[in-house]
Structure 1
Amino acid sequence: MRALITNDDGIDSPGLATLASAALACGLEVVVAAPSTQASGTSASVAAVGDSGRVVSERRTLPGLDVEAHAVAAHPGLIALIACNGGFGGKPDVVLSGINLGANVGRAILHSGTVGAALTAHVNDVTAMAVSLDVGLDEPEPLWGTAGEVVRAVLPVLLEMPAASVLSLNVPNVDEVQGLRWAELARFGTVQSRVDEVGEGEVELVHVYAEDSLVPGTDTALLAEGFATVTALHSVGRDVSPERALPAWPA
């Protein structure tokens, strides 16, 4: 099986190399295509850097890895879209996005470029997984090796799921993970944006830790307890629950 590895932290992120190594260890053929620069918070944006209408891609070498790698002047959502339409050597069987520096939990995953790439693969009928390491604002050095071990445990499960399944995996930044748990999405993420100052023609957003209590069974609560969390996601689709009778219009 062929895996496309991408992220939103950029081609030089150690998390990207860790994810590629984990995929190789699971027997996958690996191609890396990641943003040439930081692209966090871009959700499923299909924007490219620059205005030429063409996506610029440069071949790169990743230290310690013998894989094809591309630094792409585009957001991860667009990279996933290109890959799923045959770019970077052909349509992959699975898209793996990450390993992100920081958790992607709660409904705040809407804004994540890491998750956005996975959901873009999903809507293009490709199985995908977004992987994030719970390194907070004031945390010690990222334990990429821990995240890689968890990926190697979860990836076989993903590959046995129905086609176009998508998972979000969050790993605590600890030496010994307590285990794996399916998790609900929390109402918010662990870090929220707050409007700190509002001036004439300006607003300032500050990232702060969420002050809400942790709800048992949610990704934020289980991560805090030292568990790696797995959440199955789905992308855009019709919601019939609020539908009501429509007026006869035009009369």
Structure 2
Amino acid sequence: MRILLTNDDGIDAPGLAALYRAIESLGEVHVIAPALVQSATSHAVTFHRPISVEKRGLGYAVSGRPADCVKLGLHALVEEPVDLVISGMNSGANVGINVLYSGTVGAAREANFNGIPAIAVSLHIGDWEHDHWDRAAEHARRTIDQLITGPMDGDTLLNVNVPVLDEGAEPVGVKVAPVSLSKMVVDYEPGTDDAGNPTYRVCNTMTFAQREPDTDVAALYDKYITVTPLHFDTTCPTNTPAWAELLGD
């Protein structure tokens, strides 16, 4: 199996290294990741400047976004066809409406645009030391092993989140759950820059207004590994006929 591994935390991120170690026995793993942290860049790509590529660490460091890494990997850097794209392991969960902001999920979605199955992997991280990354990557690897035995095709886009666990604890299990639509509680910390202009730093980025039952957010807080099948078709099937009728289409 030929795998393209990327992330949004950058080529030097411990989550990328841990996931690489966990999956390298699956086959031929090509690491193509951003040179710098690109968190919350969603599906952004680079159009108006060249993208530089440097051999570094586990593979290639790219001056663009996570989706750029996948584009370059599939169309320029990996010579043979890629069978699977894995994005992660992200530092921080990507559940609820965070999937729309996530560069980790955006990279996996780019693979889907190109007809390649993809798995995004994130860790609901607390105040963890580096040695916990390997434990989380092992949990992710076991889940990936199960997933790749299923109906993986070019429409497959799976979002996997690993819960934060106490030392020695294990996940309760694996739960397939839909995305929570609960709004997030957003607070801004005010400050000033060197010129005296006001600044605002977002905080509480993983605080949800509620934990809707039977959703990815609730399951993750209940210590399940969550798996959510996603799709990039953003057309609303329920409202389309009504708008067509209104406009006489």
| TM-score for the superposition, normalised by structure 1 | 0.84
Select the residue among 183, 193, 200 that pairs with 2:186.
193
How much has 1:232 moved relative to structure 2?
A: 0.6
1:167 is aligned to: 158
**Does the CA contact (< 8 Å) of 2:182 and 2:210 recur in 1?**
no
Amino acid corresponding to residue 44 of structure 1 in structure 2: H
**Does the CA contact (< 8 Å) of 1:105 and 1:188 recur in 2?**
no
How much has 1:220 moved relative to structure 2?
A: 1.5
**Is 2:87 the counterpart of 1:97?**
yes
- Hey, what's the Cα distance between the residues in 2 that align with 1:100 and 1:128? 15
| TM-score for the superposition, normalised by structure 2 | 0.85
Select the residue among 47, 50, 55 that pairs with 1:54.
50
> 1:18-77: per-residue Cα shift (whole Å, max 9, x none)?
11122213x2210100001111010011127xx6x3221111233xxxxxx101111001
Amino acid corresponding to residue 148 of structure 1 in structure 2: A
- Hey, what's the Cα distance between the residues in 2 that align with 1:207 and 1:28? 39
> 1:148-181: per-residue Cα shift (whole Å, max 9, x none)?
1122212233323231201111001214211111
- Hey, what's the Cα distance between the residues in 2 that align with 1:70 and 1:198? 37
Deviates more, 1:81-90 or 1:105-114: 81-90
Q: In the superposition, relative to structure 1, how do residues 247 and 10 fare at CA in structure 2: closer, same or farther (>3 Å)?
A: closer
The residue correspondences of 1:115-130 to structure 2 (distance < 5 A) are: 115-130=105-120
- Hey, what's the Cα distance between the residues in 1 that align with 2:190 and 2:67? 31
Identical counterparts, % of pairs: 35
**How many residue pairs end up in the alignment?**
236
Q: In the superposition, relative to structure 1, how do residues 55 and 152 fare at CA in structure 2: closer, same or farther (>3 Å)?
A: same
- Hey, what's the Cα distance between the residues in 1 that align with 2:40 and 2:10? 12
The residue correspondences of 1:26-175 to structure 2 (distance < 5 A) are: 27-47=26-46, 53-62=49-58, 69-136=59-126, 139-141=127-129, 143-159=132-148, 160-164=150-154, 165-174=156-165, 175=169
**Is 2:177 the counterpart of 1:178?**
no
**Does the CA contact (< 8 Å) of 1:83 and 1:91 recur in 2?**
no
- Hey, what's the Cα distance between the residues in 1 that align with 2:115 and 2:7? 19
Q: In the superposition, relative to structure 1, how do residues 110 and 28 fare at CA in structure 2: closer, same or farther (>3 Å)?
A: same
Other structure's SS at 2:235 match? coil
- Hey, what's the Cα distance between the residues in 1 that align with 2:182 and 2:60? 34
> 1:207-249: per-residue Cα shift (whole Å, max 9, x none)?
1152523222111111111111111111134323112214359
**Is 2:213 the counterpart of 1:216?**
yes
Other structure's SS at 1:85 match? helix
Deviates more, 1:98-107 or 1:74-83: 74-83
- Hey, what's the Cα distance between the residues in 1 that align with 2:207 and 2:173? 24
Q: In the superposition, relative to structure 1, how do residues 88 and 227 fare at CA in structure 2: closer, same or farther (>3 Å)?
A: same
How much has 1:107 moved relative to structure 2?
A: 1.5
**Does the CA contact (< 8 Å) of 1:195 and 1:203 recur in 2?**
no
Other structure's SS at 1:162 match? coil
> 1:69-111: per-residue Cα shift (whole Å, max 9, x none)?
1011110011112223243334311110010001001012100
Note the aligned Cα RMSD (angstroms): 2.5
Amino acid corresponding to residue 136 of structure 2 in structure 1: A
Select the residue among 190, 207, 230 that pairs with 1:233.
230
